[in-house]
Structure formats: structure tokens, C-alpha cells
Amino acid sequence: MATTIQVSNSLLDVLRHRKMYDNESYEDLLWDLLEDTMELSEETKALIKQAEDEFKRGKVHTLEKVEKELEL
């Protein structure tokens, strides 16, 4: 069900400037803003921790190595 919300002109101006592209819907914009404030899931937190641990252990790939492996 769609609905209409009332916002001030100043907020509307801010929302217009936050759009990434001209035809981005306000719904998409609001979802993006809400996602920025949502807490990360436990799975995402675990994956971030795993990546940090791998980085600390030096288990990383340089851009040059990846390009060579991909023959770029």
C-alpha cells in the first residue's frame, strides 16, 4: 500500500540533493538512508571479523597479483 508523507520544503531540498541520480525514487533514497542506520547482522559482523583477522595475518592479495592471475 502506497502512502503520502508531508515534509518541509527544507527537508525536501535536502532529499533532492541526496539523490544519486535524477530518476532515483524517494523510496529508494529513504531505504538507503535507513540501511545506513541499521545494525549489522551477526553474519555480517562475523565476516568482517574474519576479513580483519586475515588482513592482520597478511593473508591479502595485491592488485598486481590479482591482475596477473586474471591476465589483465
Assess whether 4 and 28 both reside in one domain.
yes
pLDDT of residue 59: 94
pLDDT, one tens digit per residue, over 31-72 is: 999 998 889 899 999 999 999 999 999 999 999 999 999 999
pLDDT of residue 36: 86
Read off the DSSP letter of residue 57.
Answer: T
Assess whether 53 and 67 both reside in one domain.
yes
In total, how many domains does the chain have? 2
**CA–CA dist 39, 53 (Å, integer):** 21
- What range defines the domain where residue 27 resides? 1-38
pLDDT band at 1 (very low <50, low <70, confident <90, very high): confident
How buried is 58 (Cβ within 10 angstroms: 0-12 exposed, 13-18 middle, 19+ buried)? exposed
pLDDT of residue 18: 94
Let me know: does 15 contact 29? Beta carbons within 8 Å.
Answer: yes
Assess whether 15 and 44 both reside in one domain.
no
Let me know: does 26 contact 15? Beta carbons within 8 Å.
Answer: yes
**2, pLDDT greater than 90:** no
Assess whether 46 and 68 both reside in one domain.
yes
**CA–CA dist 28, 34 (Å, integer):** 10
pLDDT of residue 67: 96
